[in-house]
Chains A and B, each alone.
Chain A
């Protein structure tokens, strides 16, 4: 899916993934060092979302700066309208996540704050990069599989990130019912951390893959690992 042809794109993908691999673990380390790791569900941890939001925004600027011609064309005309539209779209997505998470088992009558934080995080990690990269309408088309993204390395990476994030959040729920009686088996901490973990894992895989692809010319056996990673990517 990744092609070596477009070196510029590949470099951008690698660098942005590397940045993610650094900044997200740093945030987690920092908050766990301060001892507030287990409060990620509550509203007081909103600053984490803000940090992620800013980081993703910067990343998306970096990623899409190549399409200068395109950007210029769309600039000026509907910039403000676009932003409002995407904000509204993101809010809608967050609400969908909120409802979906509840449907799939989150407490319905209480813990709304926690569920809302989790759904905002999921929105930030899955849909937001897509919207920031290519706008609302293409994002919708991508989401519903109308538009194929096989040719576009950046979009492929973003979709992969989104899928692994969801997987992480989903698998995080496994540990909640176990009888270990630890403080982090509280809703929604495992899901929250699982989502972050899935996101980081996806980025690590991207970096690894690009590294190996560049090394594969010299060392043929690396192709095997590339194939393995390719299988791990769930997107079609």
Chain B
């Protein structure tokens, strides 16, 4: 077991385990399976009721109907009265219309207060889409959407599964939309005719509605043969909601608006009378509004919305006068589907609206049967009372069909109704319920992992000699440890199994079917491994003297990192996470500023006044050389730079729509400054890359040439995308996909070339590359000859180290170039800024500066401080760049750079690298700046850094998991907590990827060195 804790990549393995844990957590948090995407078909209609044959198509047929769905945003239940809507109220009173209470899903995101410049429209668009998503989704598919529906549809909000519109189109129905264009984006290509309106301006409550109403006269007028022009018409009115947002529900503007709506109802009602077929008008709100205006809560005024059904002919509302029965939003879908004579959408869980069910008993019962049958197909458990009720109802229905007994029909109807209510409830609940067993287990497991990681990290931070003692333990018998492992494995297996049965969970995790058994066993295995890691860690961590070397800045870094994870208990700390980081980073910069001043003052005072002895001066100079006298002005300039970058992008939630520097730069009249930023950032990056090339085997200046060519590609790409003006007009017509393609080839070529030069191929061919990195025999000293013969005749280890350093720098350079390519023009300046920040910060955090006690071993403390500082820098730049914890801030545009068509992997990789550019660059810089005195030191540093990074990542993850469990019923669970969970998941994936890259680099160095030894140098010598 000792081997594990000493293993150089145990941090990475544990991080991968944590990724498994968080995947299980996500599985429990976002129930994924329920939207099967099954498409309904007319042939699905049952033709036998309990063995009795019935013609499904014929009975199901609802006749010829035209349906109008009129959605009035923000229509509150108490607005549909004679006072506000006289005509509708009248219809309700004489029972030619029916009203229901419908319970809306609480909307996820409230309408943003937009004073929107052009650039932010995309974000606003996304928020609006989510805003309407749940309601439209429920009304059209008949199923409650889960967060996964929103998140997994990323970038393409189209509904993939079945919907009323899909079935209607497949049956050749004529569908028309007038209203908010979210409908178009949810159901693209399913409309025969449409006119979408966009409304970014809440202040506009007249124009949005006029844009809808202006088509009504033409569309409502029937054709020559008195046929209406459509089968299904959707009208979506936003004006009322806008007034509510502006002035609240008591505003004097509400009444005229409602009367306007009432006029429209009247107009439609009148038009319906002129048709030769039945017209059905369904009026509903998608959510209510608070008296103070706005919505987003779960108070009755916001959640209870009216649903009014008006039919053109022979209609008598069966319900009593008054508020009407409660229905769900999902009930609209099957009802409309039936009215259009199309099958019920595949995932629908709704019921038919009772007042529209036909009076013909046979058809009525058949519809109820179809409805129940449909629900059963969606996986209702068969061992329940309501399923048996459904079976009984079916028997009674069959009895009615054969004998025609009215009593049987009555009983059947009663049974059907009862079982339908229970089934709908069950289906809706199973969609929204959390899998608590998985959540709890995943959290406990993550706790194990984080403890193990803490042990591994502390172990790795011990000074060398402490670790060497334990090598003797290696020779202990293996059988003992295998038996111990088996026992603990069995114990954990038993505990888990018992937990499964005690909690009586319905979780899939405890279903013990083959696939889940694998997950079950791997969980047991992982738990066992972490147990042994913790056990060994606790036993072997003996010397934590390095903790004594930590100074105030290190403590600030550690405490800040620890505290940050806990701050997420407040929703506004999640939405405004950038503020936390900015505050921490400012504090750190302040501390460092004080430190640099102190160091400088100490230096000068010692030089001039105190110790002017001959031997102290060189020592002083030596200790100052790391930072130099210029550090204070440099640091102040760095603070100023960060002050500027902070204004670049407003992010978060509250201040998102305030104007920022990026807006100013993107204004057309300031485009010259924007181009200045772009060119300056790109050229500075080029300079940094060229400077980094000194770490590589710059054979025949090959790397310099490639870097310059790659930068030229980037500039050309900018020109073709019109971000940059150039005197050469013809560049504009170049194909930008091709340019990016060339760019990739250049970078790939660079990496391969570097590996090949290290193989020594060129030397074998007769060239003599830069001797600095070539394999050579060290000078043999005669007296050491005896010892040398055992060792490597070539300087393999030096070359290995050089190769590792060179590859890391190539990785860093290429990452910078790629990110410069992906970034928005105004953000390009971030890339060199990260480099400068990392460089100066690393210098200032050195534990060997003047104010520290001299002569201590500070390596571990250095690495700890540096790693945390780089994590902070990454986080700060992550937010400078305009990211936040809301899904709205993901920059979709960056995913398509240099791509002509959609390809999920490539788009995801680009978007990921773009979003996490800050952390990635800071991390890469850290790995570039690790101490490189010899190979073992280097590997040890890599070991420590990767452990600390993994620990920080998993720590944040586990705390957040607890928070997500605590707040799982919170109102903001969709808009705030779930996106953050997804962000954390993605961050973990990228951390794994980053550490894997470092592991790959080390692996490549080993392989290259092995090949070199095995083939080329054997031959040469």
Contacts and interface: CB of A to CB of B under 8 A. Distances in A.
Contact of B590 (A102, A104, A108, A174): A104
B516 interface: no
Contact of B601 (A108, A145, A174, A178): A145
Interface stretch (B541-549, B635-643, B740-748): B635-643
Contacts of A174: 583
Contact of A178 (B572, B587, B598, B640): B572
Nearest to A106: B643
Contacts of A183: none
B576 interface: yes
A202 B519 CA distance: 58
Nearest to B582: A105
Contacts of A105: 582, 586, 643, 646
Contact of A177 (B579, B590, B597): B579
Contact of A144 (B583, B587, B601, B640): B601
A interface secondary structure, majority: loop
Interface in B560-589: 570, 572, 575-576, 579, 582-583, 586-587, 589
B847 to A, nearest CB: 18
B654 A103 contact: no
Given A145-B598, A146-B601, A170 B572 contact: no
A179 B654 contact: yes
B256 to A, nearest CB: 31
Contact of A103 (B576, B587, B643, B647): B643
Contacts of A178: 570, 572
Contacts of A102: 643
A13 interface: no
Interface string A132-174: 0000000000001110000000000000000000000010011
A144 B647 CA distance: 32
B112 to A, nearest CB: 14
Contacts of A145: 598, 601-602
Contacts of A104: 586, 589-590, 639, 643
Nearest to A178: B572
A194 to B, nearest CB: 13
B251 interface: no
Interface residues of A, number: 14
Given A104-B586, A105-B582, A174-B583, A179 B572 contact: yes
B605 interface: yes
A178 B574 CA distance: 11
Nearest to B609: A146
Contacts of A170: 587, 590
A146 B601 CA distance: 7
Contacts of A144: 597-598, 601
A103 B636 contact: yes
A177 B571 CA distance: 12
A177 B639 contact: no
A194 B24 CA distance: 45
B587 A177 contact: no
Contacts of A173: 583
B756 to A, nearest CB: 49
B438 to A, nearest CB: 32
Interface in B636-673: 636, 639-640, 643, 646-647, 654
A225 B605 CA distance: 37
Interface in A176-223: 177-179
Contacts of B583: 173-174
Contact of B639 (A103, A108, A146, A179): A103
Contacts of B570: 178
Contacts of A108: 643, 647
A146 B598 CA distance: 9
Interface residues of B, number: 23
A165 B371 CA distance: 71
A104 B593 CA distance: 12
Contacts of B579: 177
Nearest to A146: B605
Interface string A91-124: 0000000000011110010000000000000000
A26 B523 CA distance: 63
Contacts of B598: 144-145
B952 to A, nearest CB: 22
Chain A CB within 10 Å, residue with most, of B572, B583, B589, B640: B583
A49 B636 CA distance: 29
A174 B567 CA distance: 12
B780 to A, nearest CB: 54
A202 B579 CA distance: 28
B601 A103 contact: no
Interface in B886-916: none
B30 to A, nearest CB: 26
A167 to B, nearest CB: 10
Nearest to B575: A179
Interface in B402-421: none
B983 to A, nearest CB: 19
Nearest to A107: B647
Interface string A50-74: 0000000000000000000000000
A145 B851 CA distance: 12
Contacts of A103: 636, 639-640, 643
Nearest to B653: A179
B145 to A, nearest CB: 27
Contacts of B646: 105
B586 A177 contact: no
B407 to A, nearest CB: 62
Nearest to B576: A177
A145 B639 CA distance: 23
Contacts of B575: 179
A104 to B, nearest CB: 5
A103 B633 CA distance: 13
Nearest to A176: B579
Contacts of B586: 104-105
Contacts of B576: 177, 179
Nearest to A105: B586
Contacts of A177: 572, 576, 579, 654
B650 to A, nearest CB: 12
Contacts of B640: 103
A170 B587 CA distance: 8
A104 B601 CA distance: 23
A173 B579 CA distance: 10
Contacts of B639: 103-104
A108 B636 CA distance: 16
Contacts of A179: 572, 575-576, 654
Interface in B218-273: none
B1002 to A, nearest CB: 40
B294 to A, nearest CB: 13
A173 B654 CA distance: 17
Contacts of B647: 108
A110 to B, nearest CB: 12
A167 B576 CA distance: 23
B373 to A, nearest CB: 49
Chain B CB within 10 Å, residue with most, of A103, A108, A144, A145: A103
A108 B661 CA distance: 12
Interface in B602-655: 602, 605, 636, 639-640, 643, 646-647, 654
A174 B602 CA distance: 33
A174 B572 CA distance: 13
A167 B597 CA distance: 18
* Among all A-B residue pairs, the 4 with the closest Cβ atoms: A177-B579, A179-B572, A144-B601, A103-B639
29 contacts: A102-B643, A103-B636, A104-B586, A104-B589, A104-B590, A104-B643, A105-B582, A105-B643, A105-B646, A108-B647, A144-B598, A144-B601, A145-B598, A145-B601, A145-B602, A146-B605, A170-B587, A170-B590, A173-B583, A174-B583, A177-B572, A177-B579, A177-B654, A178-B570, A178-B572, A179-B572, A179-B575, A179-B576, A179-B654
Given A170-B590, A179-B575, A179-B576, 6 more contacts: A104-B586, A104-B590, A108-B643, A108-B647, A144-B597, A178-B572
